[in-house]
Every structure is written in structure tokens, then in C-alpha cells.
Amino acid sequence: RGDKNIVLIKADSTGYISGLEEVSHSKEIFDHLRVYPNPVRDYLHVDFGIDLLSGSRLELYDITGRKVRVFNVGGRKDFILDLRDLGIKPGVYILLLNTSLGRRSIRFIKE
């Protein structure tokens, strides 16, 4: 396996790109990360595969790059997002997992 990089594009509602951020996820810590079901209707399961280090955060962004919510997930092996409580509309969203070892983004679709 080679290193993989993702570029996170930040844009406003008019499509103006306000920034680019490279998100590296070459660490093996992310090899077991799973998000299901995808697409999702009510509950999104995030399985980290290992207990995350303290200070780890899961950030939820809409497709325009607007931060919707931040969750502290340090010390957890999995996490369930109740999308009904967040009141988000159907569309494409990005989860960004931030740990002291790196970051990884995952895209999912809310039905």
C-alpha cells in the first residue's frame, strides 16, 4: 500500500473556493475505519477498529465545507451519529477524523 492523500476543498454556497487543505492518512491506524450504512437515513455507525487516543475528534461537514458539528471521540472504539437529532438535510457530507497520529476523511450520503 502506498500513502494516500485527500484534498479537502472549502467553498461557500456560491461555489467560491476559500481554501484547500491536504488531509494525509498514511497511518495504519485508519486501515480499519468503517462507516455504515452508506447511504444512511437515520443512524450512521462509525467503527474506528481500535480505541482512539484521548483528544480525538470527529468533525461533520456538509459538501460546501460548512462545519456542522464536532464530536469528541477519544477513548472510543465506535460511535453512532443520530442524524435525526442533527436536523441535516439529504445530501453529501464529509466526516473528518482528527487524531494525534493524523487525519482521515470519509464521505457519506444522507437520504
DSSP assignments along 41-59, one per residue: SSEEEEE-SSPPPTT-EEE
d(CA 104, CA 22) in angstroms, rounded, equals 10
Q: What percent of the residues of the chain are helix, what percent strand, and what percent coil, each to the nearest 5? A: 5, 55, 40
- Report the amino acid identity of residue 19: G
Residue 25 pLDDT exceeds 70: no
Contact 73, 95 (CB under 8 A): no
| Model pLDDT for residues 27-81, shown as the tens digit of each residue | 566 777 899 999 999 999 999 887 788 889 999 999 888 999 999 998 888 999 9
pLDDT given at position 80: 95
CATH topology (fold) of 28-110? Immunoglobulin-like (2.60.40)
pLDDT given at position 2: 47
**To the nearest whole number, what is the mean pLDDT of the chain?**
81
Q: Which residue has the higher pLDDT, 99 or 8?
A: 99
Q: Where are the domains of the chain?
A: 28-110
